Amino acid sequence: MFGTVVVGVGIAGLARIRDLMNPIPSSPSEHLKLLGFVSRRSFGNINEAKQISLEDALRSKEIQAAFISTENRSHEETIRMFLEAGKHVLVEYPMALSAKAAHELWEMAEQKDKVLHVEHIELLTEEYKQLKREVTGKDLVKGTLHFTGHVLDENKTGFPAFSGIARLTWLIDLFGDLTVTSATREKQKDKNYSRMTVHFQTANK
């Protein structure tokens, strides 16, 4: 059994706790044992999972891996702490708010001989797998992907492109490497409105 800890108990963290405590029979999750969760807020217990301090999670010899589900801004620092402590790390996308930091973290994981995995759960859903089957073997001529959401706190989530990085991952997985040809941003502070529009080109243009 691999001892694990969940760091952050927002929507993603709570889902991790639920899935680790109720693994699908015969799935790899059956080999993971949740030993606690870390949060800045005080919860006590969640579904029999006990709250532990970050320091205890880093020191524990029983914990071999951390699931990081905090806000984007803190991913980089939290990954570094757990890699330094000799733990494997799974982190919700994005790994960091800059490519430079991400490369440094990959190198650090390699030096420590630890797994550093960035999770994008949407790529594992049946709906996405069906979409991928539909586009396989076809040439993309032109397409538009539009999505909406609530206004994000940029201090926690990073530049708006990061709130759309999941969809960018979709496009790269479906159509290969992309080149940004243009990007614009519109903000209306009085209406609490923001829109980012990005144009990409595939390798075969």
CATH number at residue 195: 3.30.360.10
Domain encompassing residue 42: 2-119
67 and 19 in a common domain:
yes
Q: Is residue 127 part of a domain?
A: no
3-state secondary structure of 184: strand
The residue-averaged pLDDT of 25-39 equals: 91
The residue-averaged pLDDT of 50-56 equals: 96
Last residue of a domain, one of 91, 119, 147: 119
The domain tally of the chain equals 2
Task: Quote the Cα angle for 54-55-60, to 5°.
Answer: 100
Find out whether 5 and 62 touch, Cβ atoms under 8 Å. no
Last residue of a domain, one of 96, 119, 142: 119
List, for residues 98-127, the tens digit of each pLDDT value. 889 999 999 999 999 999 999 887 888 889
pLDDT score for 163: 67
3-state secondary structure 77-114: HHHHHHHHCCCEEEEECCCCCCHHHHHHHHHHHHHHCC
Rounded percentage of the chain residues whose pLDDT exceeds 70: 97
Q: Extract the tokens encoding 84.
A: 């330094």
What pTM was computed for the model? 0.76
Find out whether 46 and 106 touch, Cβ atoms under 8 Å. no
Rounded percentage of the chain residues whose pLDDT exceeds 90: 51
How many other C-beta atoms are found inside a 10 Å radius of the C-beta of residue 96?
A: 22
pLDDT score for 162: 67
